[in-house]
Amino acid sequence: MGGLAGRTALVTGASRGIGRGIAERLGHEGARVAVHYGRNGAAAKETVAAIEAAGGSAFAIGVELGRPGDVDALWEEFDRHADGLDILVNNAGIGKSRTMEEIDEEEYDKLFAVNVKAPFFIVKQGAARLRDGGRVVNISSGLARSATMPHHMAYTMTKGALDVLSRDLSKVLGPRGITVNSVAPGLIDTDNTYEVLHGSPGAWEWGAGLSALGRVGETADVADVVAFLASDAGRWVTGSWVDATGGSLT
């Protein structure tokens, strides 16, 4: 166990992928982790079990974001388990979108409801629960600074909005010693990445070639960056956009 003992963390979208990696990493560092999930309760239970098996503490919260009353329900459930918060990681999101020619208003509105509106109001309501000296980390995307996949334009737009939230919120919460940052992964080995690349021949090799390090990232590559920002060592980093793309933007 590390330097987060005695702290409570909430990671949204933590049942699988990057969110699960972050939740397990924070749990390893000693934080008690609220594992949020939208629909996959079984996967969330697996995340909780993995944290507990490693000696940590966790509990699951099931609320589907992007619906009326979603944030109220999330915090109501959180309050049943904890009396305050130290680390908030806004990771939950829809990870892709159809092209401009294909997307309709319903998909567009859902995308922004989950990826932008929900994090904004989670922070708005969570600020009173977040203890002074706390941490907020928003999971962005390298695509917010690169047109590598321009057909996912609507998705990328949501990450640009999330980055503005991080920048401006750092000034709002800074007087309380709370840091706020965006962490921007590149291609990470998750189910969603496979779907985005469509499993087409050569797509994985193409993705690996985007990185200066010559590989597709792993969830731990992102989780370690988040853990640093959540720790005391990250106390002087705020309002930043942290490139965790493995050099894909160089």
pLDDT band at 149 (very low <50, low <70, confident <90, very high): confident
Q: Quick check: is 199 in a domain?
A: no
CATH number reported for the structural domain that contains residue 48 in this entry? 3.40.50.720
Q: Quick check: is 76 in a domain?
A: yes
Rounded CA-CA distance 230/212 in Å is 26
Q: Quick check: is 130 in a domain?
A: yes
Token pair of 202 as six digits? 């050569």
Active site residue 108: no
Q: Total structural domains in the chain?
A: 1
- Looking at residue 198, its pLDDT comes to 58
Residue 86 identity: D
Q: Quick check: is 87 in a domain?
A: yes
Q: Quick check: is 248 in a domain?
A: no
Q: What is the pTM of this model?
A: 0.95
Using one digit for the tens of pLDDT, what is the confidence trace for 53-106?
999 999 999 999 999 999 999 999 999 999 999 999 999 999 888 889 999 999
Nearest to 142 by CA among 183, 179, 101, 104: 183
Question: In the predicted model, is pLDDT for residue 45 greater than 70?
Answer: yes
Radius of gyration of the chain (CA): 17
Token pair of 33 as six digits? 């982790």
Q: Quick check: is 27 in a domain?
A: yes
Question: In the predicted model, is pLDDT for residue 195 greater than 90?
Answer: no
Sign (positive/negative) of CA torsion 73, 222, 107, 113?
Answer: positive
Q: What angle do CA 4, 46, 155 make, to 5 degrees?
A: 80
Rounded CA-CA distance 135/128 in Å is 13
Q: Do 248 and 209 contact (CB within 8 A), yes or no?
A: no
Q: How many CB atoms lie within 10 A of CB 61?
A: 21
Q: How much is the mean pLDDT over the chain?
A: 95
Name the residue range of residue 155's domain.
Answer: 8-188+218-241
160 exposure class (CB count in 10 Å sphere: 0-12, 13-18, 19+): middle
DSSP per-residue letters across 131-152: EEEEEEEEE--GGGG--SSGGG
Q: Percentage of residues in the chain with pLDDT exceeding 70?
A: 97
Catalytic residue among 37, 108, 155, 194: 155
Q: Quick check: is 150 in a domain?
A: yes
pLDDT band at 196 (very low <50, low <70, confident <90, very high): low
Greatest alpha-carbon span in the chain: 51
Q: Quick check: is 95 in a domain?
A: yes
Question: In the predicted model, is pLDDT for residue 18 greater than 80?
Answer: yes
